[in-house]
Chain A
């Protein structure tokens, strides 16, 4: 642990009048866990008692007090995934890695955790490894997922992926189609979602051509604004567990008809896209 890093994080939070959780998140992002010394440092420099900080750090599941591995595997045990056999998937991961959920392998390669719903129930059981969604996971696939992760998941990134083709998507929660055949963008049916920002709430239509960035919206959206996306049918927020590799904003997952997930960056103007067809290239 590098004390100046922690110092920077604490100073930054003081300037922006950020709270404790923000600081802990920054530290966790930096070290992938919360080192004991970091908590003591915060306590000494922000007038909070160590026991309160420790209470917050142990309250939230996303904080870890022990070092995490290089790869994070989250197995969803939410209701929808549960009924489709997710506990068996979790067990298979535990068996293959030789650890229990919540633990990290000895070689510090993998941390296994279980989560309650990743917002893509219709494609369950869901496993997310390093921000990559694996859908309809079967126990027989677990080994493959792990070996692919060891080799490095090759992401299909837009910058290297020159393909342009139309996709048909639906809400990851309710599986209702998001396609709007009555409104064409790039001569193809558009994808309609609801977005909100700065207390404004309105529709947004995206081109369904993968690789095209044409959008139209009810309100003028300032560049670099990070939007909240909602399904216009079930009104649940379209949010996932991963962040944009380019700008760090949350990624918005949608289900691709035929299997797979497309994720788009929620920041206006950012070109972060990720497409996992057929369950992440498996």
Chain B
């Protein structure tokens, strides 16, 4: 694997009296799929939200592609090439598919050659193509997302992340709402991304998926990183032991 593109150094994050992240070190290299594992409440989502700029950590530093990004806004971080699929999807359900895929980065055209307006047709077409890659068909792209199924919404969130040719894609339980064939598609997608040298951080509770696609597994427990296991050394058994705390890494 190549150079680290993302480096998290000694990051801590507190919510009131609760220590959600405790001195976390974490790295991702180019073309690497890193699985982030841990029990509910271990701090996985908090860590990736610190990376994507939703939270500002109280301590530590995050470096991406040569830039210190600690405390940057979500837009600045998206601008540097990190796209995130959030566990709660973070979609505007009152808007349609195109508006969501392009949320915050709306494609504009000039009306009468003067006034910038949103190019809804373009956004709809592009979104359709991004969804096609996932083999997910949505009957009407003009539908507001409230009217779509959970899996369809998840597909929209995935399409949004992959559309932008990101340099790093973070997926927080991206397959939770998907059917089996669609889950396969997402795993295929992750493999494709790796072939294209695009690193992925994958948070998942599905051990089999993790074993299938990850190059390295990082396990968190109570806000700390407790294990960092390369794929060749990993077994489901060992990972589960780290997750539940029956084993500590030397």
Asked whether A and B interact, the reply is no
Q: What residues make up the interface of B, taking CB atoms closer than 8 Å to A?
A: none
Q: What residues make up the interface of A, taking CB atoms closer than 8 Å to B?
A: none
